[in-house]
């Protein structure tokens, strides 16, 4: 029997025995692995919070900026505040020698903002002034010669009269009378020539004076001044640059002509009249309604520009309407005028309709 126990086991029994031994080594309860917190999980949470906060903020913005409920008879359109642009250009080709203003500066009408190099014009002006002085001297000399020739002609006339009297009395011959007549004719011719030189000198004086005036005007035109009160929007050129005739140096905004162009559909534009009341409300100051007047209504319909948002479809034909702010109202607030601010223009389609309290306007912008 011992021999039987010591006998070798079959291979299949050996594998079963090894498996049983391995199972006996495993613990009774297997440990449970817990998921660890990862950065992705926190990122998802942060994104969810951002969406919630963004939605709440968007809702609040819409609530604050939603279009007010308007009574029937009032139309509105979106646009931007604009001011009339005026370019300050050179009249003649030349080099910029001085710039005394920059973008953003407020300027008054007639204020010098730049100067062109006028050394050549100044030299020509001095030459013309010298010609004027020379012409004046020529006039003085010609006038003096006229006086002299007048005296000589008077003397020749007196001598002729005396010779004629003496001939009649028999004290002189006819030859003396003829000589006195020749002297008188020569004196008369000299007087006429002197008078002609006076006229000629005066014409030369006039031409030289015109040259002086021309160069003075050209020099003045090379001094660039602001045509109207306003603000400099852009400075295009700099000191030392050579510009052609008509070269642009500045672009200014005419703060007395501030307006907003909007587009209204046919059903509303047809009821807007030039001169009727309007109100402009800017996004920057939504609590303020700026009084304005309708200054322009387009006579032809056009497609709405892509930069203007309306409640109608973009392929609907619209009419351009301009609401212009009173210049007197702007004069006291010139430093606050800004071009490009978006806003809304409101128009009264029926003069019997009263403005809502929010659009009543105020004493000043």
Together in a domain, 156 and 281: no
pLDDT reported for residue 14: 47
Same domain, 113 and 195: no
Q: Per the domain annotation, does 43 fall within a domain?
A: no
- Are 177 and 164 spatial neighbours (Cβ–Cβ below 8 Å)? yes
Token pair for 6? 């010591």
Are 208 and 91 contained in the same domain?
A: no
Note whether 197 and 145 are within 8 A (CB): yes
Does residue 58 lie within any of the structural domains? Answer: no
Token duo for residue 105: 């500066």
pLDDT (0 to 100) of residue 322: 95
Beta bridge mates, 278: 292, 347
Whether 112 and 231 share a structural domain: yes
β-bridge partners, 112: 225
Co-location of 162 and 292 in the same domain: no
**Same domain? 93 vs 232:** yes
Within a 13 Å sphere around the CA of 234, how many CA atoms are in the beta-carbon half?
Answer: 11
SS3 call for 63: helix
Residue 1 lies in a domain: no
Task: From 243, 277, 298, give the residue that closes a domain.
Answer: 243
Q: Is residue 52 part of a domain?
A: no
Burial of 117 (0-12, 13-18, 19+ CB in 10 A): middle
Sign of torsion over alpha carbons 95, 100, 104, 107: negative
Strand-pair partners of 282: 343
- 50 belongs to a structural domain: no
C-alpha separations of 308 from 107, 226, 303, 318, 323 in Å: 31, 32, 11, 11, 15
Largest distance between two CA atoms of the chain = 214
pLDDT by residue, tens only, the chain of 365 residues = 344 444 444 444 445 544 555 555 444 444 545 555 556 666 666 676 766 666 655 555 544 455 556 778 899 999 999 999 999 999 999 999 999 999 989 999 999 999 999 999 999 999 999 999 999 998 888 888 888 888 887 877 887 777 777 777 777 677 777 777 787 778 788 888 888 888 888 898 999 999 999 999 999 999 999 999 889 999 999 999 999 999 999 999 998 899 999 999 888 888 999 999 999 999 888 888 889 999 999 988 776 555 555 555 544 678 999 999 988 887 766 667 778 889 999 999 888 888 888 887 654 44
Beta sheet of 223-225, edge-to-edge order: 223-225, 112-116, 94-99, 242-243
**Secondary structure element (H or E) that encloses residue 137, with its range:** helix 119-169
* 234 and 109 share one domain: yes
In a domain, 274, yes or no: yes
DSSP letters, 138-187, are: HHHHHHHHHHHHHHHHHHHHHHHHHHHHHHHHTSS-HHHHHHHHHHHHHH
> Does residue 306 share a domain with residue 348?
yes
Does residue 131 belong to any structural domain of this protein?
yes
Pair (277, 213) in one structural domain: no
The CATH number assigned to the domain holding 303 equals 2.40.30.170
Same domain, 232 and 92: yes
Number of other CB atoms surrounding residue 322 within 10 Å: 20
In a domain, 176, yes or no: yes
* CATH number of the domain bearing residue 112: 2.40.50.100
Please count the structural domains in the chain.
3
Nearest to 195 by CA among 150, 158, 154, 156: 150
Q: 96 and 142 share a domain?
A: no
Cα(104)–Cα(235) distance, integer angstroms: 9
What integer pLDDT is reported at residue 29 of this predicted model?
47
Q: Which residues of 210-231 are buried (b: 16+ CB within 10 A; e: fewer)?
A: ebbeebeebbeebebbbebbbb
Give 232: exposed, middle or buried? Use CB within 10 Å, 0-12, 13-18, 19+. Answer: buried
Q: Which domain holds residue 130?
A: 119-221
Same domain, 184 and 309: no
């Amino acid at each position: 029997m011992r021999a039987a126990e010591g006998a070798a086991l079959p291979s299949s029994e050996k594998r079963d025995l090894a498996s049983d031994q391995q199972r006996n080594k495993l613990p009774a309860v297997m440990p449970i692995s817990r998921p660890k917190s990862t950065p992705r999980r926190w990122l998802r949470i942060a994104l969810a919070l951002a969406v919630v906060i963004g939605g709440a903020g968007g809702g609040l913005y819409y609530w604050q900026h939603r279009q007010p409920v308007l009574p029937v008879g009032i139309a509105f359109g979106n646009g931007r505040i604009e001011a009339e642009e005026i370019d300050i250009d050179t009249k003649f080709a030349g080099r910029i020698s001085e710039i005394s203003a920059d973008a953003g500066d407020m300027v008054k009408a007639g204020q010098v903002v730049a100067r062109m190099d006028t050394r050549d014009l100044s030299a020509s002006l001095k030459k013309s002034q010298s010609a004027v002085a020379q012409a004046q001297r020529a006039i003085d000399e010609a006038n003096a010669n006229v006086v002299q020739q007048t005296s000589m002609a008077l003397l020749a006339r007196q001598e002729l009269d005396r010779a004629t009297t003496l001939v009649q009395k028999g004290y002189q011959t006819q030859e003396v009378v003829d000589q006195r007549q020749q002297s008188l004719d020569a004196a008369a011719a000299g007087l006429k020539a002197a008078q002609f030189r006076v006229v000629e000198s005066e014409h030369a004086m006039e031409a030289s004076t015109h040259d002086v005036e021309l160069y003075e005007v050209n020099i003045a035109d090379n001094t660039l001044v602001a045509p109207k009160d306003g603000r400099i929007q852009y400075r295009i050129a700099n000191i030392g640059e050579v510009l052609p005739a008509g070269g642009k140096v500045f672009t200014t905004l005419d703060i007395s002509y501030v307006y907003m162009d909007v587009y209204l559909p046919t059903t509303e534009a047809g009821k807007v009249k030039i001169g009727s009341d309007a109100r402009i409300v800017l996004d920057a100051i939504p609590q303020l309604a700026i009084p304005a007047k309708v200054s322009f209504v387009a006579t032809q319909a056009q497609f709405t520009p892509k930069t203007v948002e309306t409640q109608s479809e973009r392929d609907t034909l619209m009419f351009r309407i301009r609401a212009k702010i009173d210049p007197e109202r702007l004069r006291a607030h010139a430093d606050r005028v800004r071009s490009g601010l978006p806003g809304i223009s409101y128009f009264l389609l029926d003069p019997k309709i009263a403005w809502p309290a929010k659009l009543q306007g105020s004493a000043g912008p």
